[in-house]
Amino acid sequence: MDAILLQVLNGLDKGGAYALIALGLTLAFGTLGIVNFAHGALFMLGAFCAVALNKLLTLEKVTLDPTQKTPWGAPLEIRTPYVEAWLGDFGKFLVDWSVPISILVVVPVMLLIGIAMERGLIRHFYKRPHADQILVTFGLAIVLQEIVKHFFGANPIPVPAPAIFAGSADVGALFGLPPNTIVYPWWRLIYFLFALVVIGIVFAFLQLTTFGMVVRAGMRDRETVGLLGINIERRFTIVFGIAAIVAGLAGAMYTPVLPPNYHIGMDFLVLSFVVVVVGGMGSLGGAVLAGFLLGILQSFASMNEVKAIIPGIDQIIIYLVAVVILLTRPRGLMGRKGVMED
Amino acid sequence: MSEKKLIVNRRQIIRGAAGGAALAVPILHYIKDAHAEEYCNMPKGKEVVLGFNVPQTGPYADEGADELRAFKLAVKHLNGEGDGGMLNTFKPSSLKGNGILGKKVTFVTGDTQTKSDAARASAKRMIEKDKAIMISGGSSSGVAIAVQSLCQDAGVIFMAGLTHSNDTTGKDKRRHGFRHFFNAYMSGAALGPVLAKAYGKDRRAYHITADYTWGWTQEESMKKFTEKEGWQTVKTVRVPLGAGDYSQYLTPVLSSGADVLILNLYGKDMVNALTQAVQFGMRDKVVNGKNFEIVVPLFSRLMAQGAGEAIKGIYGSVNWNWQLQDEATKAFVKSFGQEYGFPPSMAAHTCYVQTILYANACEMAGTFSPAGVIPALEGFKFDGLGNGPTEYRAADHQCFKDVLVVKGNEKPTSKFDLLSVVELTPRSKVEYDPKIFGGELGPINTKPC
Amino acid sequence: MFKRNARQDLIFFLVFSAFVLSMPVLLAPIGAGYPDLLQKFAIYGLFAIGFNILFGLTGYLSFGHAAFLGVGSYAAVWMFKLLTMNVIPAIVFAVIISGLFALAIGYVSLKRSGIYFSILTLAFAEMSYKLAYSVLTPLTNGETGLQVKLRASGPVTDLINQDVRVLDAAMGIEENGIPAPSLFGLEITGWQAFYLCAVMLIAGFYIAMRINRSSFGMMLRAIKSNQNRLNYTGVYPRPYLLAAFTISGMYAGLAGALLAVTDPLAGAERMQWTASGEVVLMTILGGAGTLLGPFLGAAVIKYFENIFSAINENSLHAVLSFLPDPVENALVSVLSMFVGEGWHLTLGLLFMLIVIFLPGGLIEGFNRLIGLFTRSRKQTTGENREEA
């Protein structure tokens, strides 16, 4: 029982990440009809916003202490972050909370990157075949990750969560189980909740605002909306920016779970496409549903009991589900008719 | 009409010329290539080229970076620059401080990416293009074994860096490959008794193992020596290299009834898995009435640095530690620390030592030819390189020396003071018959390349 | 008319062959005249030429071709371990196995088209890669990689670590240490291995050229230009697509086998989807749909990978030392982004520029250049373009 509950938690946590990435991908696809292979790179850029902020806050002032010596005879170096030196306890707080604070950086930065990408590149590819879109965004993904590699190096950079979330929560106690039967890391629980909040905001935005209504109408029938005299293009640009923000937020908040390297986007890209396909191309609800579903499926597949029956299933379950869905129900779980059915 | 004829004529000429070239070029090429060489990459000028093939990216990149620093330092010392480091304590030494056999030492570097394919491509480039006479490096046993067999085939010497799998000098040993580092068998033999003393003889162990040659032999050795002490093995799980998020492998541990988790992982993988295990509350758990414990059989200071708090009180074994108090260690730490501002890791140490040992063997043999260098290294006994008296066993090209069992420091005095030595297991306790792992060294290869 | 085309093809083919065979001499001045790199030119050239038969002709973008290359490598190494070190059985077996594998995956994947096809191939390739790394370890030896080992002297218990080489044993071939791949006694290493790869490349090029010129090739191009119209005319395109997919899978298998011949070790990394992405890059860079383009793209990328990536800041400083210091330093810090470890950045940018401005790849670029200089002979350039 507790083992199963633990796997569900694990699945929700993974699923949160999958759902967020797939949501952004679908947003761009459903509105603009663009197959964006650079979406993983946006996730990566978000993660590196968090890394950059953390690096900036922990820039250190080096003072030499001549009274103490290192074993090789040089004076001992004492390092203190500038922020702490200037701001005292508030500085310490800033450093500790750098990941949540990075959200404030991620939103404007990713919005700008998204808009620049759409205006500068994607826009010219609306009329070109999907293969060309895949290729040019694949190239862009390489360029983006190489730029990050140039500045941050090729190796993963750990970014700690705030100290109070470093430990684990006794989740079992909530369900009336004896203490310490189910413990789960705080940050992973927070990530799951965060994913829910972001998804909620995006849906509310699309459902409840006029802007969202126009965008949804545009997704259905761009031409008619255009004929009504509404500048749908400009709105689509903003939607692309929102997609970039969602991907960036997913990446930034994921850094304490998995130290990011420049390549992390490519690793998530394949997964996110699989999630989108399973959910149904162009369906926002489908992307979210499929994200959580695949996360939980993957968690269960990696239980020792399951692996004993089907060896290796934990490695391929996601792809297997994608293949089966594509062959039997190419529209995915919740895909709309007529989207990408060529 | 006439123009067409002209074109045809021109084409005929091109065709004739091209056909001729197609035949002549390969032949010419063979003639050009067949100049006299007594063995592969025989140094002809005033310089000798060494190839340092280390992981600069991937899960073992930190170790790789430190290895590279040590290689550069060793080259400096061999060429008579700097303070000489362990060259001053090494005995018996034939080194003269003027390069190797009077030739200045230069080097090329490559990135193995912690992948066998990439490592071999990089080593091939060093041998074929840069004419390296010796390849060194490692940090992944899979890579080390792959490169070692390449060096055997090419006829150059491979001085393994950090590689801990039994296979490197066991079933995959080669005449041209030499290893100074200790191996999984020795770790197991040294750790088994210490663990039994610390945690009792009635323990149930769960292994999480890196899925390649090193992980396999490490798991095998740890199983063998803990079971000898009365422990049970509940389950062994293999994980791919560089998995990153270990949550899906860690959660089943909690419900398996195991009370010890043995992490047969290394580098960043170990850092990630250990931190995540601690996040999942494993070190606060009580199972079967005993405190849940984590063991990391192969430790290093770099990993300890990466894992931070999580490492405190955890047992493991190392090949060497910079806080040892012998003269050789002090000399090495001094020159490395002055050069780079922090103490060397054990990966750095073994790479430095290997470079010195290779150079010394060339001086002893009076030649760079494998026919001279290999016999000079086989059975070579030395001291003054930080591990006390050491022997390169001729039967499997494995160095034998004492093994250090360490524990994560509870109260570090500096950010480098992370491991404290618990026990020095003498060489006699970790020695074994070379036959138990099988494999054959094969012949000395002096074919020109 | 038709005859003249055949004649042009012959000349084109002969020039290509002559060039490939003389690469050791021709490319030595640019630092590429060593066997390992030239082998890679030929092997990845073959891989890309094969990939082009699918992508270039039909427009179906597969992101999973590295899987076939990997399967070919494993098959070849197994032949080395079980039968003989002679390269012929290894190559033949690898091509057959990867062909079958491609047939199976192609049969399923081609039920869908467009982006769905790409994702299906991607999913299959990732599955193959992950399985090769985990449960298929008894076949692949996982991360360690499948290697040629010593011939067992006693009873065989572990085929990964003990080789049998039944044929070699039956023919009484003595082994001293681990043998190198051979061709009836001639050791295939270094330059010999390059010439073997070169001959295979030339053969592969010839076959690709024949396919291009045949009615089958015409059919494939028809699929690319308008599949609906084909359907309406009563042609069922899938068998043609499947044939193209399988043939390109066999090319990949051949390339994989040659990788195993030049270096008898097969690792799972060469099956990863980013490796599939690399062959896409090569084909597009050189010019998808052209005969020469894929080889050109493969050679350019492999050359960059080996040579460009070896340039570092010091060598840049050496080249630019004639400039005033501040200018030199600024220039070096900018340029160093694009060379050495950053060469992928150059590659990515180049690739983007090509997709945006030159969808026909480098070949189209050359043709445009030629067109600029020989405007008066426009007709012939038009023909050349089609031919190249």
Interface of B with A in 284-313 (CB under 8 A): 284-286, 306
Out of A43-52, B208-217, B260-269, C138-147, give the one with best mean pLDDT. Answer: A43-52
Is B448 part of any domain? no
Same domain, B76 and B141: yes
B33 located within any domain: no
- Has residue B30 been placed in a domain? no
Asked whether the beta carbons of A314 and A302 are under 8 A apart, the reply is: yes
Residue B406 lies inside a defined structural domain of this protein: no
Going by their DSSP bridges, the two strands B157-160 and B134-137 should be labelled as parallel
**Contact call for B252 and A74, based on CB within 8 A:** no
Judge if B177 and B57 occupy the same domain: yes
Pair B174, B280 in one domain: no
Q: Which of B268, B290, B318 is the last residue of a domain?
A: B318
The total number of structural domains that make up chain B: 2
User: What pLDDT sits at residue C333?
Assistant: 79
ipTM metric:
0.84
- Indicate if B141 and B174 belong to the same structural domain: yes
Same domain for B152 and B62?
yes
pTM score: 0.86
For position B35, what pLDDT does the model report?
52
* pLDDT of the residue at C388: 41
B169 and B231: one domain? Answer: no
User: SS3 breakdown of chain B: % helix, strand, coil, rounded to 5?
Assistant: 45, 20, 35
Chain A residues touching B251 at Cβ < 8 A: 3, 6-7, 10
Q: Which of C20, C39, C141, C143 to mutate to test the interface with B (most CBs of B within 10 A)?
A: C143
Q: What is the mean pLDDT of residues C64-83?
A: 94
- pLDDT band at residue B227, thresholds of 50, 70 and 90? very high
Closest CB from B240, B252, B322 relative to A304 = B252
Residues belonging to chain C with any Cβ–Cβ distance to chain A shorter than 8 Å: 59, 61, 108, 111-116, 118-120, 122-124, 126-127, 130-131, 133-136, 273-274, 277, 280, 284, 337, 341-342, 344-345, 347-349, 351-352, 355-356, 359
The CATH number covering residue B286 comes to 3.40.50.2300
- Residue B138 is predicted with a pLDDT of 79
The contacts of residue C244 (CB under 8 Å, 6+ apart) are: C53, C54, C57, C58, C60, C220
CB-defined contacts A:B, below 8 A: 85
pLDDT of residue A136: 92
B124 CB within 8 Å of a chain C CB: yes
What pLDDT, in 10s, does the model give residues C255-307? 999 999 998 888 888 888 888 988 998 999 999 888 899 999 999 998 888 77
Q: Which chain B residue shows the shortest CA-CA distance from A308?
A: B237
Tokens read off for B118: 């990439």
Residue B21 lies in a domain: no
User: Is B64 part of any domain?
Assistant: yes
For chain A, which residues score pLDDT lower than 50?
A: 342
% of residues, chain B, pLDDT over 70: 92
Sheet holding B399-400, edge to edge: B381-382, B390-392, B399-400
Instruction: Name the band, by pLDDT with cuts 50, 70 and 90, for residue B2.
Output: very low
Best of C334, C345, C346 to disrupt the A interface by mutation (most A CBs within 10 Å)?
Answer: C345
Q: CB of B116 within 8 Å of any CB in chain C?
A: yes
On the question of pLDDT at C321 being above 80, the answer is no
Q: What is the pLDDT of residue B239?
A: 87
List pLDDT tens digits, range A308-323.
888 878 888 889 998 9
Q: How far is Cα C85 from Cα B442, in angstroms, rounded to an integer?
A: 18
Note the pLDDT of residue C387: 41
With contact defined as 3+ CB pairs under 8 Å, the chains touching A are B, C
Do B172 and B229 reside in the same domain of the chain?
no
The whole-number pLDDT of residue A101 equals 92
* Residue C9, both tokens: 């093809």
Are C22 and B142 inside 8 Å of each other by CB? no
Position A170, amino acid: D
Work out the end-to-end distance of chain A between its first and last CA atoms, rounded to an integer number of angstroms: 45
User: Would strands B315-318 and B293-298 be described as parallel, antiparallel, or unpaired?
Assistant: parallel
Task: State whether B56 and B151 are in the same domain.
Answer: yes
Phi-psi region of B372 (alpha: psi -120 to 50; beta: other; left: phi over 0): alpha
Count Cβ–Cβ pairs < 8 Å, chain B vs chain C: 118
pLDDT at C375: 66
C196 interaction partners in chain B (CB closer than 8 Å): none
Alpha carbons C251 and C261: distance in angstroms, whole number: 15
Which CATH number is associated with domain A2-57+95-328?
Answer: 1.10.3470
Q: Give residue ranges of A with CB < 8 Å to any B CB.
A: 2-3, 6-7, 10, 13-14, 70-74, 76-77, 154-156, 158, 166-168, 180, 183-185, 187-188, 257-259, 298-299, 302-304, 314-315
Q: Both B129 and B78 in a single domain?
A: yes
Check CB contact under 8 Å for A135 and C124. no
B contact chains, 3+ CB pairs < 8 A: A, C
Question: Which residue of chain B is at minimal alpha-carbon distance from C312?
Answer: B109
**Residue B218's domain spans which residues?**
185-318
Residue B434 lies in a domain: no
| B21 vs C22, C147, C195: nearest CB | C22
B95 close to B20: Cβ distance less than 8 angstroms: no
Is residue B407 in some structural domain?
A: no
| Beta strand pairing call for B232-239 and B204-210 | parallel
d(CA B152, CA B157): 7
Domain residue ranges of chain A, discontinuous segments joined by +: 2-57+95-328
CA atoms within 13 A on the CB side of B114: 25
Query: Does residue C312 carry a pLDDT above 80?
Result: no
B231-282, pLDDT tens digit by residue?
A: 999 999 888 887 788 888 888 888 888 999 999 998 888 988 998 888 888 8
Q: Is the CB of B18 less than 8 angstroms away from the CB of C14?
A: yes
Residues in chain A: 342
| Per-residue confidence (pLDDT) for residue C385, from 0 to 100 | 43
Q: What is the pLDDT of residue B336?
A: 93
How sure is the predictor about B449, in pLDDT bands with cuts at 50, 70 and 90?
confident
Same domain, B288 and B388: no
DSSP B82-101: TT-GGGGT-BS----SSSBT
